[in-house]
Structure 1
Amino acid sequence: MRGYLSQDTLVEVPAVVLWDVYRSLQLGKLASELLRDFVSKVEFVKGDGGAGTIVKITFPPGTPGPGYMTELFTNIDDEIRLKEAEIIEGGFNSVGFDLYRICSQIIEKDAESSIVRSSIEYEIDDKLEEIASQVTTKPLEIMAEVVGKYLKEKRSSTN
């Protein structure tokens, strides 16, 4: 079974500012600082934030499922502001997914706002349909909202 979900989140930050964070290691650092209920630690195992970078994300104690996941950044496209990562260990792989790809694209709406298009593409055995029904873009939406709010406040305090 293959599946695909996508959600757009409006963020009141210019696309160029938001992309600087999303395309770099700063996104992981902000996630571990701003989303403590969802992410307890982000470790950069290998790489500089470009394609080939490996990141281990540890979840807080008590989080259902595996306590961590390891992502491999497979594509960073500065021209269309697209970042793709696949889970290579833990996380959704531990519960039966053959592929779990997370994509974030930053789309310019106007000079002061942008859209974060968060999508998930997955492959899983048809017998595990119930597990597949639990896939959601909600954590990606929350991250876009929280990071956007942080960057907006940061920009306001420096102007």
Structure 2
Amino acid sequence: MVSELIDETEIQAPAAKVWEIYGTVEFGNFLLHHVPHVVQKIEFLEGNGGEGTLLYVTFAPGLGGMRYKEKFTKVDNENRIKIAEMVEGGYLDLGFTLYRFRFEIIEKNEESCIVKSSVQYELKEEAASNASLATVQPLKEVAQAVNNYFLNKSTA
């Protein structure tokens, strides 16, 4: 059974501008510069940021320094949805059979939007005690950093 953790964060910027960060290859650079306490390193293995892009991600030491291979399984520019799945290492080494990140940028009005971030996961029965390791908190911190980026940009 797939479980899901969800966070919704309001961003004080138009959905199209927020998607320019989440929906492009620039997202990796944003993470490295604005949330270095979450992501330490990103290595592009193949692709240009669209569906099928494969990368190695290393979490920051505060998050255990976990390293994993991630594949973008969906990049929907029209509906502003991006889905990435761990395909090797990371939580998969801890008994998870699925660990998926999903981002959806939902227009609220002309000046703001909602970033709906979720983690979908599934565990082997014998690893059920590891369910508490699944967390949406890093994705929430990323959304907050995006909001801060736009707030600082508008006051600069």
> Same fold judged by TM-score > 0.5?
yes
How far did residue 62 of structure 1 move? 5.8
CA RMSD of aligned residues (A): 1.5
CA contact under 8 A between 2:74 and 2:82: conserved in structure 1? yes
Q: How does 1:85-104 map to 2 (within 5 A)?
A: 85-104=84-103
TM-score, normalization: structure 1? 0.91
* Cα distance in 2, alignment partners of residues 50 and 154 from structure 1: 27
Q: Counterpart of 1:124? A: 123
* Cα distance in 2, alignment partners of residues 70 and 13 from structure 1: 31
**How many residue pairs are counted as aligned between the two chains?**
156
How far did residue 10 of structure 1 move? 0.8
Q: Counterpart of 1:77? A: 76
Gaps of 5+ in 2: none
Q: Counterpart of 1:112? A: 111
* Cα distance in 1, alignment partners of residues 139 and 130 from structure 2: 19
TM-score, normalization: structure 2? 0.92
Gaps of 5+ in 1: none
Q: How does 1:1-159 map to 2 (within 5 A)?
A: 1-61=1-61, 63-64=63-64, 67-157=66-156
* Cα distance in 2, alignment partners of residues 132 and 123 from structure 1: 8
* Cα distance in 2, alignment partners of residues 52 and 15 from structure 1: 24
CA offsets, 1:21-53, max 9 Å, x none? 101111111101111122111121111110001
* Cα distance in 1, alignment partners of residues 26 and 117 from structure 2: 18
Letter in 2 for 1:144: A
